[in-house]
Chains A and B, each alone.
Chain A
Amino acid sequence: MRNTFVAGFIGALSVVLLALFYTHQTKFSSNYKEVLSILHTLNSVEQKLNYNILQNSIYLYTNQDNIAQNRAILSQSIKAIKAHALIQDKNYDKVYKKTLKLEIETEKYFSQLDNFLSLNASIKNSFIYINTHAYNALLKEEHNPKYIRMAQYISKAFITAAHTLDTDLLLNTEKKIQALNNYNQSLSKPSRPIELFLLHVRFILKNFPPYIETLNHLLSDPLLQNTTDIQNTFSAIAIRDMQALNYFAVFLMVLFVFSIAYILVLLLRIHKENKELEAAQTNLQSSLVTDRLTGLKNRFSFENELQKFHKPTLVLLNLDNFKHINDFYGVSAGDYILCQCAKILKSITLKQFDEQIFRLGGDDFGIIFEDVSQEATFQNAQMIIRAIDTYDFIVNDIRINITISAAISNEVPLIENADMALKHIKTLANKKLIVYSNKLNLRRKILHNIEVTNILKEAIKHNRITPYFQPIFHLKHKKIEKYEALVRIKNAAGDILQPYEFLPVAAKTPYYAEITRIMIQKSMDYFQNLPYRFSVNIAMQDLLNTELMSVIKETLEANKETAKRLDFELLESEHIEDMELVNSFIREIKSFGCRISIDDFGSGYSNFSYLSQLDFDTLKIDGSLIKEINSDKKSYQIVKIIVEFATINKLEIVAEFVEDAAISECLEILGVTYAQGYYYGKPLPETL
């Protein structure tokens, strides 16, 4: 920036200097020409004067005005040189001094000229007298012809001298002049014509030599040397000045060209930098709006792009079990699959509906279509699903197949609605594509979740989590030997909420573990001084919650006697990977004398696998089997097999949902240890 400024300044300066220089040079050039012109006039007027003088000497009479004019011009020219601004400059002092010298010389010259003119007129006058008038006058008188011839001789000699301008020709006339004079004096009355003749002759004799001398001097051009000297001196100085000016001009031009070139270089550099900056900016912008992995637009850009659509329809796509892929094959495989999916999406959607493709999250893709019918979108989505489902992803020579689910939404908020719809179908088997609609009541479900979550939060805060106790009857001993603690919430209005109203929601919140803790705590407190065994429900996931487990262990530690009567009913909700960890907790719990029972046995999906892995004491047969035991043969046979299995493995069996005497009798016959259900007692806040 500073460089640009400096270069600009130098450029501007050189332009200003060039302008000043140009003015100066123009002035100098004009001055130079003026002086040169005056010098030329000087020179030419000197030559003219020379010519005038010669002319004047040759002709008998001439108009002498031109001599007067030319001498005036000569004087004026000298004055003009002296007064000229250029010559007044001290550089030209030499010229000025030489001009002063010329002025002095000119004064001398003019004096000579005046003298010449004066002599010229008088000499001519005398010549013309002796040549014509004197002769006529003499002839009118009576004279000795000898003297007339003598006068004639003198006259001819003088005329010849006048024509040749040679004074030598006058030398031989002395004697004859003297003789003529003597003759005139000898006359009784001297002749007036002879007197006048002799007057003129003597005048010529006296003035002709200085006349010739003056003429020759004037014609020798006495000013020429001075004038030439002035001209040469002036030219030499002026040429030197001009050369200096030329050097300066070249310097200025170089400076100017250099600064222009430099500015150009700087401009090019700035241009280049700008381009780089622009590229960097574009890069930055695109990285803000682009997903780096797939090159698709990202979630951030989605919001912006969405604004540009008038009638948008969103297809939200989610890879099924993608987390499993990542866990199983590694993150790089996951990334590869995501990239491939992006490519597939791009290749399938052909921009026929101005669609835009986004990667909205980890394994979420979104496609916005503009102004498309529900059917067309549906077909498009189906096509995409088919394409991905049938595509063989090859990772490290391993073929992986991926399935994908999609939700279509054209109702605002698009992404939330689609997401709800997608989550909804993920819970449904065999459904891969859904169109969001208000009729799905998905929103109400969510509102319900939020409401329940709030109830849970409030209940925990205000200690309204309450255990209800349901008796468990020993069929052989014919008495109640155990109670199962079941969770209830007393709401703000004092109503009791059943578990089905809040537990499904609670299971997906952190409050679930808290509920478990409270149930254990409160049950232990309640049964501390009662002669029954008691059980609480615990999800298998809870066993993996180390924080909860340590709290439970503390509680058990604090009530060791009560702990010996505590049963944990394990609920299987999700598939457990790390069964060993679960077992290690079971061992710890059992070390306190607690027992473990498997809850809802017969309804889960991998029950038998647990049986081999888990160290448990009791099987609780799922109520759905028990209810049907007298009406459905298969249910009866399953229960019978479970009982036989338990007997062989010396496990206790508890049957749930025992609602009447018939069921109870049947169970007793089959050899079931305990029965639990309305037939023996509902869950109540107190023991019976």
Chain B
Amino acid sequence: MKSFLFLSIFLTSLYSIEPIQPLPLILDDINLNKAKLGRVLFSDPLLSKDGTVSCNSCHDLSLGGADSRDVSLGVENKKGNVQSPTVFNARYNFKQFWNGRADTLKEQADGSLHNPAKMAMDKNAIEKYLNSSDFYKKQFKKVYATSSILYKNAIDAIVEFEKALVTPNSRFDQFLYKKIALSDNEHKGYVLFKTLGCIFCHNGINVGGNSFQKFGLMKDMPHIMNTPDRYAITKNVRDKNIFKVPTLRNIEYTAPYFHDASSKTLYEAVKDMSHLNLGIALEEAEIQELLAFLKSLSGDQPTILKEK
């Protein structure tokens, strides 16, 4: 058993040289009709209580799938309590929301639709609205073969669309696929990323999104009331200011940064993170190199957005 374990470690170390995995170039698990229907629903503000907020309002598909505002505004301009994370590549996060309170995209969509500070709709209202629309009735009949639209099918379509929101072909992924070489700065940044310790949390296919970590690891941050951290769920003191490690893909387009939008630029974010979580002081050159690497994580627009 032990020898097997060590053999496995040895083999794994051979094959997973890089702790970051590229995104697949082609998605083979998407039902295109569902996804296209989901795309319409995603941008429909009438799915919110006062007809002002759609999914797209906080996950702007033209802005890296995230919100440029510090906090998102829900129906009746209600302020949220957190900076909206990107919907792009969200399917690769091990949990959804900053504090990981949803295990799946479906739970996330369901939660956001019902959240009084977000879209504030209930199941019946959504079904009533969708069934009143000839367009939706026709579309749902085509995709789900039901004359009456069910809430669960609407969620299913949205989730299918979100699953298709993957941004492949970033320069870094191309490097991982050995299609291109990184630029000098990008490569130096990547090495720093690994040697400075960023990689300890930001690894895997989504360069993050697979574990929880404390915001302010090396420097305790004050705990603000109603912060949607792990503590909000577990009520365990240890979990204060603990959040899901966010993805770094397309990071250059998803400003402002952190759950509290405390960094307005990526430059600041890198600097703050090195100070708060790594306990190091970066030199200017190192920051530039890291920025070059981080920008190489920006991929193509999801193909589903180009589908007619």
Contact = CB atoms under 8 A, between A and B. Distances in A.
Given A63-B20, A133-B280, A58 B200 contact: no
Interface in B170-216: 194-197, 199-201, 203-206, 210-214
B210 to A, nearest CB: 4
A494 to B, nearest CB: 119
Given A61-B194, A125-B197, A203 B212 contact: no
Interface stretch (A3-11, A65-73, A374-382): A65-73
A121 interface: yes
A129 B218 CA distance: 12
A129 B201 contact: no
A52 to B, nearest CB: 10
Interface in A95-153: 111, 114-115, 117-118, 120-122, 124-126, 128-129, 132-133, 137
Contacts of B200: 61, 120-122, 124-125
A199 B210 contact: no
B242 A118 contact: yes
B94 interface: yes
B206 to A, nearest CB: 8
Interface string A184-217: 0000000010001001100100000000000000
A63 B279 contact: no
Nearest to A197: B279
B238 interface: yes
B279 A200 contact: yes
Interface in A47-83: 51, 54-55, 58-59, 61-65, 67-69, 71-72, 75
Contacts, number: 106
B117 interface: no
Contact of A121 (B9, B201, B205, B281): B201
A363 B251 CA distance: 134
B14 to A, nearest CB: 12
B278 interface: yes
A366 B277 CA distance: 135
B234 interface: yes
A180 to B, nearest CB: 16
Contact of B211 (A68, A125, A137): A68
B280 A63 contact: no
B19 interface: yes
Nearest to B242: A118
Interface in B222-245: 230, 234, 236, 238, 242
Contact of A118 (B8, B194, B199, B212): B212
Given A61-B203, A121-B213, A111 B234 contact: yes
Given A120-B200, A133-B196, A65 B213 contact: no
A450 to B, nearest CB: 103
B19 A62 contact: yes
A118 B214 contact: yes
Interface in A296-342: none
B124 interface: no
A213 to B, nearest CB: 13
B6 to A, nearest CB: 10
A482 B168 CA distance: 167
Contacts of B234: 111
Nearest to B198: A125
Which of A54, A63, A71, A200 lies at the interface centre, i.e. has the most chain B CB atoms within 10 A of its CB? A63
Contact of A63 (B21, B213, B242): B21
B12 interface: yes
Interface in B19-67: 19-21
B219 to A, nearest CB: 8
Interface string B101-123: 00100000000000000000000
A78 to B, nearest CB: 13
B92 to A, nearest CB: 8
Contacts of A129: 197, 278-280
A126 B279 contact: yes
Which of A54, A67, A75, A133 lies at the interface centre, i.e. has the most chain B CB atoms within 10 A of its CB? A133
Nearest to A111: B234
Contacts of A124: 197, 200
Interface in B242-282: 242, 277-281
10 contacts: A55-B12, A63-B21, A65-B94, A65-B206, A111-B236, A118-B213, A118-B214, A121-B213, A124-B197, A200-B218
In the A-B complex, the 3 residue pairs with the closest CB atoms: A68-B94, A125-B197, A65-B204
Given A118-B212, A125-B217, A196-B281, 12 more contacts: A58-B9, A61-B194, A62-B203, A63-B19, A67-B211, A68-B94, A68-B204, A120-B200, A121-B211, A196-B280, A199-B218, A203-B218
